[in-house]
Chain A
Amino acid sequence: MENLLEIKDLEKSFTLHNLGKNIRALSGIDIMLKEGEFIGITGKSGSGKSTILKCIYGTYRLQQGSIWYNSKKFGPINLADASNRQMIYLRQHEIGYVSQFLNVMPRTTARQLVKQAILEMGADYKMAERETEKILLHFELDQELWDSYPGTFSGGEKLRLNIARAMVKKPRLLLLDEPTASLDYVSKLKVKILIEQLMKEGTTMLGIFHDLEFMNNLVDREYNMHNGAFTLSS
């Protein structure tokens, strides 16, 4: 497989049984993503941007189409038919997802959250502890916050922790769901530096952005979405 990710003719709709409705969210989506490439997706709210990322990450099950991913562990694999256990493995080792909302585990500190991510990859306890401190320092998260609950953090702090947690695994493919939404200028700049660093390290990324100015300086290519389909790409 030449590309890291090849999405062909992706179609997703939601059947709402209680309303007797069928809502089409995506149709005819094709994406090719080479290793080390960074593609941006733009579009109005509700146009289906996040749905694409959730289909790749396995949160949504698709109706039609294929999502071929070139895995280190499994070789080329169609994520649309991957087993749940394979998907769990890929999430733990190869595919990262950063959303604008931090899914906070109740009563878990920032330090534990990052450490858990490292442990999932099979690192030993001591090493996980060291790596956690390194990454928290790197992300300039206030040391006072390390042992407190992320539920109490500001939006920017949460987001940085969220990216830290995804980045610490050094995923081969990173999905970014509006990583700069609701951030102030300084925080945005910090996120930008992090993304640039990931690019340098060769991480392949697919990101959704509302902030076009922010995105234009970063991505290799971009797609624009309207009503569940791409309108133009450059």
Chain B
Amino acid sequence: MTEFEVPVLSIKHLNKQFGTGCAHCTNPEPDALIKNYCKVCGTVFACRDVSFDVYPGEVLGVVGESGSGKSTLMQCLYFDQEATSGEAYISSYQNGLKNLFQESSQQKRYIRNNLMGKVYQNPLLGLKIDFSSIGNIAEKLIAAGSRNVEMMEARGTDLLGKVNIPIHRSKEAPKNFSGGMQQRVQIAKALSNNPPILLLDEVTTGLDLSVQASVLDLIKSLQRELNISIVLVSHDLGVIRMLADRTMVMLDGQVIEQGLTDQILEDPQHAFTQQLVHSLL
């Protein structure tokens, strides 16, 4: 089947293992591992042969139980972790011909600062907690090559306004803010360089319902207005239902099922997906 669109982000055969592996677990026998753990050498296979495409303006949901490799996958995409093997291509980088995982660390930093934004579950990871909020945004802009203070201030104010942080608090450090506000500063920071790809890792986990709603509404409206492509990791199927066009399900580091979000929720095929969906309803 020929595709009629070009993916923005394309991941092929991504593998990530923690540990060196041994003769026992590199041998492709089905019983070599306990879940994704090798009992002989202790290697954990966090992502196993993960492949997917993300298209312009779409939200791809990633669900799975804790420990299924969702966050590791996101860390590999943002170069927080080095992928053990695999390929990644971004259509707007070198015409999508260069494997990002094999680029130099300078180039990786360029990609991360200019073509991607990431929001972590824990705001401490995405923010300098005792810098001012607007300074946090400026930091990302400077990393992306901006040098004009006036322009950065205008951009920062504009973004903080978009995520509903009052202007008079923009010079305050995120450590003074509530969790929901910190999360919104993080989103503003991630968006500051107009990235075509946004990675969201459990952004609403741990927030109370009304704050959760405002963060979700914000993501939805930003995605509509700016047509950003989003990879959204969540174990909350409600969040996935609301935001994701397509969804993939991970278990023990592997993608066990993917499809339209309504397919996954209404006609789950794999035993684990069925269990997950039934736990919700």
Tell me how many residue pairs across A and B have CB atoms closer than 8 Å: 59
Q: How near does chain A come to B217, taking the closest CB pair, in angstroms? A: 6
Is B213 a contact partner of A85 (Cβ separation < 8 A)? Answer: no
Would you call A88 and B260 a contact (CB within 8 A)?
Answer: yes
The interface centre, meaning the residue of A59, A73, A81, A82 with most chain B CB atoms within 10 A of its CB, is A59
Binary CB contact string for chain B from 189 to 213 against chain A (1 if under 8 A, 0 otherwise)? 0000000000000000000000001
B266 adjacent to A60 (CB under 8 Å):
yes
Question: Which residues does chain A contribute within 8 Å of B26, judged by CB atoms?
Answer: none
Instruction: Please name the residue on chain B nearest to A88 by beta carbon.
Output: B245
B213, B274, B275: residue with the most chain A Cβ atoms closer than 10 Å: B274
C-alpha spacing A86/B262, complex, angstroms: 15
Which residues of chain A from 48 to 77 have a CB within 8 Å of any chain B CB? 54, 58-61, 73-74
B260 touches A58 (CB 8 A): yes
B278 touches A (CB below 8 Å): yes
Distance from B230 Cβ to chain A, minimum over Cβ atoms (Å): 15
| Interchain CB contact (< 8 A) of B246 among A54, A84, A106 | A84
**Residue in B217, B245, B275 whose CB lies within 8 Å of A107:** B217
The 3 closest A-B pairs by CB, nearest first: A17-B271, A60-B267, A59-B262
Distance from A25 Cβ to chain B, minimum over Cβ atoms (Å): 10
Whether B267 lies near A84 (C-beta < 8 A) is no
- Counting CB contacts under 8 A, is A89 at the interface? yes
A61 touching B271 in the complex, CB below 8 Å, given contacts A84-B260, A106-B242: no
A105 to B224, CA, bound (A): 14
- The answer to whether A14 and B267 have CB atoms under 8 Å apart is yes
Kindly provide the distance from the CB of B2 to the nearest chain A CB, expressed in whole angstroms. 9
Contact of B260 among A74, A81, A87 (CB under 8 A): A87
Structural contact, B266 and A15, CB atoms closer than 8 A: no
Residues of chain A within 8 A of B260, CB atoms compared: 58-59, 84, 87-88
Chain A residue nearest to B271 in the complex (CB):
A17
Near B by CB (< 8 A), chain A positions 96-136 give 105-107, 116, 119
- Asked whether any CB of chain B lies closer than 8 Å to the CB of A143, the reply is no
Residues from chain A with Cβ under 8 Å of B58 in the complex: 85, 88
Tell me whether A22 is interfacial, beta carbon within 8 Å: no
| Cross-chain contact B259 with A61 (CB below 8 angstroms) | yes
7 contacts between A and B (CB under 8 A): A15-B269, A16-B274, A17-B271, A58-B262, A74-B4, A84-B246, A119-B224
A231 within 8 A of B: no
CB within 8 A of B274: which of A18, A73, A85? A18
B55 at interface, CB cutoff 8 A: yes
A82 to B4, CA, bound (A): 12
Q: 1/0 per position for B228-266, CB-CB distance to A under 8 A?
A: 000000000000001001100000000000111011001
B5 interface residue per 8 A CB criterion:
yes
